[in-house]
Structure formats: C-alpha cells, structure tokens
Chain A
Amino acid sequence: MVQIDRRRFVKAVAGTATLAAAGAAGLAPAGAHAAWPKEAFAAAKTKETLEALFGTSSATESTAIRFTMPEIAENGSQVPFAIETTLPGVDSISVLAEENPRPLAASARFEPAAVPFLKSRLKLAKTQNLVAVVRSEGKLFTRTLNVKVTIGGCGG
C-alpha cells in the first residue's frame, strides 16, 4: 500500500477525498465514523506506529507539550494521562506506551474547533516510557515520560 501524505491528497482532490482513500493514508479525516487505523494499532514499535499514522516518524521533542501521568502507577489497568499543548494548528494528539504489546494506545483527531487537550486512562503492561505525540501544522512533536508500574494492567 502506498503511504500518501493525507494533507497533499486532500488538497489534490479539493476536499472530496473519499473516507476509504484517506483511511489508506493513515489517519482518516475526523468526519463521521472513519476507518480505524488498523496498521497503526498493529505496529510493534514506535517508529512503525508513527509511520502508519502520519506517513513519517520524524519528530522533535517539545516542552510546549504538557504531558502528565503519575510517576508510579499502583494499578496498571487504570493509569491516567493528560496531554495539552500551546503548539499552533494542532490536528492530532496520540499517546504511545513504548513497551506495551502494541505501543499505540489512542489517537485523537481534532477539527479546528477542538482545543488541543486530551485526558483518559490506559492499561500499562509494565514500567515503561510513554510518549505523547502532537501534530502541529503538519509536523510531529513529542514529550516522553517514564511511568513505574507496580502491577501490570494488560491481563491476558
């Protein structure tokens, strides 16, 4: 499958891109119930996850991202996270747990009306690095935290 940059594709067809085609490019547009990014959720490493989601894994660390998680998670099955950023033109916030069986935990797609802010809770298999990935004006920025997990939460 050819990984095409979603923005170029959408521009090229003047906003009439089909959901299926946009889905093939990784992150589908935020409209309706778009294609679930299956490849990204199946990727086993951070690099492949980002390439499946965004067509690139090239990212810069940024302190303009505020990423909050507990230093120590007693219960690995409900570990809260909060991500917000002052970066401009944000259309996506994702969170990856680098040593979970599959790193990608969740990926939000924002329309311009959304504030670049997301909070939820994750299952973490073990102590590991968590990476917040923000796409701002088409470029990827990251912030990394290390979370210690006392009891792993992935079950299985």
Chain B
Amino acid sequence: MANSIKARLDLKDDVVTVKTLITHPMSVERKDPKTGATIEAHFIEEVVATHNGKVVMNLACGQAVSMNPFIEFQFKGGRKGDAVRLSWRDNKGQSDSLDIAV
C-alpha cells in the first residue's frame, strides 16, 4: 500500500500548491455479469492533508470521484522545508500516507 500517493508541492510567496495522484480503483458498486452477484464498491472515502502537523484540508469522496484520483488544492503560510502529510482511507478500511517537504 505504500507508494500509492505521488505528490508535488510548489511554493509561491507563502502559498503551497499541492498536486497529488493517488493510485486507487475507485470502483462503483456493480453486478458480476456472469453470476449477477453484487460486487461492492471500493473507493477512497477521505483524503486528509496536514501542514506542520495541523490539518488544512479534509476531502470526503464518493463513488463519483474518478479512478486514480488527481486532487489539487492550496494552503497559505508555507515555507521551504515545512512538513506536509497526505493520507487517505477507503471504505474497506485500507489506507496510506505520504510525508513530503515543501
């Protein structure tokens, strides 16, 4: 599960732009074409971003977010060397996180 998150941070003045790509099927609930059985959805429910240990953004996702979701957001007050952590948790209890410096 490690390495499911790729991220790039760009600093301009004190604004940090975070672009992240998460490897995840983000699959919707569907029926098996052969057996008709329901295949449960498998999708990220939450992505959390912290800056120097403090949460800046919390994104609640549903099944409509695309496979291998790309997410971009920004926060203020960033300086070179600051710690950013990106983490996700899905509906099956799986999770991963990435620590990256500005």
Contact = CB atoms under 8 A, between A and B. Distances in A.
A52 to B, nearest CB: 11
A78 to B, nearest CB: 5
B28 A30 contact: no
B74 A155 contact: no
Given A32-B55, A117-B74, A155 B28 contact: yes
A78 B67 CA distance: 8
A102 B60 CA distance: 14
Nearest to A117: B74
Contact of B62 (A27, A77, A104): A104
A117 to B, nearest CB: 5
Contacts of A122: 64-66
A114 B64 contact: no
Kindly state the interface size class of chain A when it binds its partner. Answer: 35 or more
Interface in B37-66: 45-46, 48, 51, 54-66
Interface in A66-105: 77-79, 82, 97, 100, 102, 104-105
Contact of B74 (A37, A111, A114): A114
Contacts of B64: 97, 100, 102, 104-106, 122-124, 154
B76 interface: yes
Interface string A11-40: 000000000000000011011111011001
A27 B46 CA distance: 12
A153 B30 CA distance: 13
Contact of A36 (B15, B28, B29, B45): B45
A110 B59 CA distance: 9
Contacts of B31: 156
A97 B28 CA distance: 15
22 contacts: A30-B57, A31-B58, A33-B46, A33-B48, A33-B89, A41-B62, A78-B67, A79-B66, A97-B64, A105-B65, A108-B57, A109-B57, A110-B56, A111-B56, A115-B75, A118-B59, A118-B71, A120-B70, A154-B28, A154-B64, A155-B30, A156-B30
Interface of A: 27-28, 30-34, 36-37, 40-41, 77-79, 82, 97, 100, 102, 104-111, 113-115, 117-124, 153-156
Question: Top 6 nearest A-B pairs by Cβ distance?
Answer: A119-B72, A115-B74, A105-B64, A156-B30, A121-B66, A30-B58
